[in-house]
Amino acid sequence: MFLAFLENAGYWEVGAHLMYILSVIMFMLAIMRMSKVKTARSGNWLAMGAMFLAMAGQFIEQMQLDKGFEHLPEFNWLWITIGLGLGAVVGLTAALWVKMTQMPEMVGLLNGSGGFASMLVGIAAFAMAAPEMDTTQGVAYTLADTPGVGWFNGINMVLTVIVGAITFTGSVLAFCKLSEWVNKKISLAQPKLIPGRHLINAFLFLGAMTLGVCMVWVAGGKAFGILAIILITIMALLLGFMLVLAIGGGDMPVVISLLNSYSGVAAALSGFTINSPVLVVAGSLVGASGIILTMIMCKAMNRSLVNVIFGGFGAVDTSAAKKDDGYKNVKSADAEEAAMVLADAQSCIIVPGYGMAVAQAQHAVRELADFMIARGCKVRYAIHPVAGRMPGHMNVLLAEANVPYDQLFEMDAINSDFKNTDVAIVIGANDVVNPAAKDNKSSPLYGMPVLNVEEARSVFVIKRSLGAGFAGVKNELFEKDNVRMVYADGRKACEDLIKALKEA
């Protein structure tokens, strides 16, 4: 009787909408807190709580509006439970087993999963509407004419499939590039510039959009609708693959942030498709924050957003560099020699890069910094916006090693301090510290903001070899008079430096 009273009074529906409002507020606060390393962890918890409230509110509203409490057995809890269970197992397994160095690949897969889910929502929405598209009295219905759909929902249905499919295959290919997946015939980590790719991309995009317009407004009926949605899905899947195929692995941080934006847009579109306001708001927040981050990353890499969207960047012309790819007057030092300089240093800036992630050296780096701080040295970390394989990659690794947040500085905040610093230690970074970006107009890096490492009084570059970075060009930093190369694995080099400092 009490449940019946609540149902008639509409309290359950009101409660569901209150949960939506609270969920949206929590999503906004979560994104705000995720913008700073110090509060990012609490932002994740807020986002998790927001998602739980949104799901709970959706269940309550669905039971209230569609079935009612007297029809609860008809609400398919079996499939819901299976879906939630599988998702929880996959997510928990990934969280427990993924390595910190694999986090960029994990983010790529999460973006792809969001896109895939949105694509399925669009296809499922069409499947529910398709039976109503049968011809009646010789008139072939379109989505705009279909009862319960209309032109607005029809457009969203098509766009949900297109954007979701592009996000899915683009993210899967980004995962392969980040993993540097290679077989005997092809390396996906390198950009693949297929002849006529722009025409192919234009055909796929315009073809999918044209079929979508026909589904919404041009007479066709159920049979045409089914064929169209299949072709749209295939075209969009191919388009996502083609767009990311032309982008090199070194530019994946920008691509990851862009695909994150796409996944948010796809979620927002699916929210319109199934009339879920909280999904629209949450997806819009992700889409907007993703595109803002993409623009920041483009600025940090001196890239054009148009190039990112349409692909084809990351394929640099290294012909000028190959004319003089040999290094001259490169000086090296062992751990003992470097320790002698570090022992007298009053200030130090550490520049982490992807090589640090590969070597799993973040804990050793923190121990080295702690030891130097104990000796009276001021230690800070300079974080380039695109260091690593995803936005914030270095921040995540250093936070995982419990590096104090107040020691982390973005490039703009610390770049002018290198000239007043006794020693700079570069660990695994390459292109983001290459002075050629500032003064060599023939370099593909020219115009990209880089860290002014060479301005420090002494510089030690910890690197296994003189191998080029993602841009494929020589690093002019290595030839500077105040730079010494320490040829070693990042973690081993830091451990050797600590040992040598203890003996100094």
Catalytic positions, written as ranges: 431
Mind giving me the DSSP string for 278-331? HHHHHHHHHHHHHHHHHHHHHHHHT--HHHHHH---S----HHHHTT-S--S--
Kindly state the tokens that stand for 329. Answer: 């007057």
d(CA 267, CA 65): 22
Give the sheet arrangement for strand 378-383, strand by strand.
Answer: 408-410, 378-383, 347-352, 423-427, 458-463, 483-487
Determine what percent of the chain falls in helix, strand and coil, rounding each to the nearest 5. 65, 5, 25
Token pair 């009787």 is found at 1
d(CA 458, CA 496): 19
Amino acid at position 459, single letter: V
Q: 3-state SS string over 362-417?
A: HHHHHHHHHHHHHCCCEEEEEECCCCCCCCCHHHHHHHHCCCCHHHEEEHHHHHHH
What is the helix (H) or strand (E) element at residue 55, kind and residue range?
helix 37-62
Asked if residue 377 lies in contact with residue 345, where contact means CB atoms within 8 angstroms, the answer is: yes
Instruction: List the one residue out of 86, 163, 78, 75 whose CA is nearest residue 118.
Output: 163
d(CA 146, CA 130): 9
Asked if residue 429 lies in contact with residue 460, where contact means CB atoms within 8 angstroms, the answer is: no
d(CA 339, CA 306): 47
Asked if residue 268 lies in contact with residue 280, where contact means CB atoms within 8 angstroms, the answer is: yes
